[in-house]
Structure formats: C-alpha cells, structure tokens
Amino acid sequence: MISGTDIFLDKTDLAILRLMQANARITNADLARELDMAPSAVLERVKKLEQRDVILQYTARLNPAAVNQKLLAFISIKSSEGMGSNHTALELAKVPEVQEVHHIAGEDCYLVKVRTADSASLMALMRMTLSRIPNIISTRTTIVLETVKEEQQLVIPEK
C-alpha cells in the first residue's frame, strides 16, 4: 500500500529523484557531489524517500528479447462483478506475465498488459490462467507489432 499522508518534496529531494530515476546505481558519494552536500545528509534523505514510499523500487530494466519475452499484448477484459469489487483485478495482478492492470473509464473494463515468449504462450496463458478467473465475460486482445518507446520515467517537477 502506498502512503496516503501528504508528501512534501523540496528542491533537493526532487534532484535526488531525478538522478536516481536516471541511474539507480549512482553511488551515494556521487549523489552528494552532484548536490554539494555531505554523503551522510544525502543518505538520510534517500532513506526517508524510501520510507515514505516516494521511491518504490530500484530495478534493472532488461531487454525483453534477451530473456525470451518477445510478445507484448494489451487485453481488454470485461468482468461481471459489480463496481466496488475488484477481485478480478486482484486475480489478474497475481499472474507474473501480467505487468499492468488498470481499471479504465468508459467501457467499464480492465486494461491488462501482458508479456510472453510468443503468441503460442499467450494463448496458453489465456487458456490456463485467465479462463480460471471467475466473472470474466469477454476479452479483446491487441498484439503489439513494434514498440517505439517504453520507459517509466516520470517528469519530475522543478519545485
């Protein structure tokens, strides 16, 4: 769960976030040099950003093709469960190949992003895993032919 209490970030915090978003393996010493601060002061700020759930994770972005995950698809899923329940979404979220589950406005359904080795393994996933989740009424699968950009970088405000 993500902190609901309000979060105040000053110029220094935002600079730390900008640097760590661009390179999570930057040393604390290099961060301190960039910010013209003592390493101990920077370390304390980083720990607080982690505690406050401003920084959620440090992760290596991998080339999907290198680890045999060449197929990317988006699936629109309609569920018969009433509003207020999101059991279907939670079940979808448990599937490791499912990277994203969003509840979307308008069409009253979920948008799911899935990555598998190829179209055969996507079919297998849909038959074996998705079809076992209750309340799914329909699915519409869109295959990605080519990805031109895929980053999670957020635009960090100036202040």
Partner DNA sequence: GATGAAACAATTTAGTT
Partner DNA sequence: AACTAAATTGTTTCATC
Binding site for DNA (CB under 7 A): 12, 27-30, 36-41, 43-45
Query: What's the one-letter identity of residue 50?
Result: E
Q: Which is nearer to its own copies, 40 or 59 (CB)?
A: 59
d(CA 142, CA 122) in angstroms, rounded, equals 11
CB of 113 to its own copies, least distance (A): 9
Out of 68, 80, 85, 131, the only residue in the binding site for its own copies (CB under 8 A) is: 68
Give me the least distance between CB of 147 and DNA, in Å please.
28
57 binds, among its own copies, DNA, none (CB under 5 to 8 A by kind): its own copies
Q: Are 111 and 102 in contact (CB under 8 A)?
A: yes
Q: Please give the Cα distance from 5 to 136 (Å, whole number).
A: 35
Residue 142: name its binding partner from DNA, its own copies, none (Cβ under 5 to 8 Å by kind).
Answer: its own copies
The answer to whether the CB of 18 falls within 8 A of the CB of 151 is: no
Binding to its own copies in span 86-115, by CB under 8 A: 86, 89-90, 92-93, 96-107, 110-111, 115
Find the shortest distance in angstroms from Cβ 10 to DNA.
7
Contact 74, 144 (CB under 8 A): yes
Whole-angstrom distance, CA of residue 117 vs CA of residue 64: 9
In whole angstroms, how close is the CB of 57 to its own copies at the nearest point?
4
Under 8 Å between Cβ of 14 and 156: yes
DSSP annotation of 67? G
What mask, x for binding its own copies by CB under 8 A, covers residues 45 to 64?
Answer: -------xxxxxxxxxxxxx
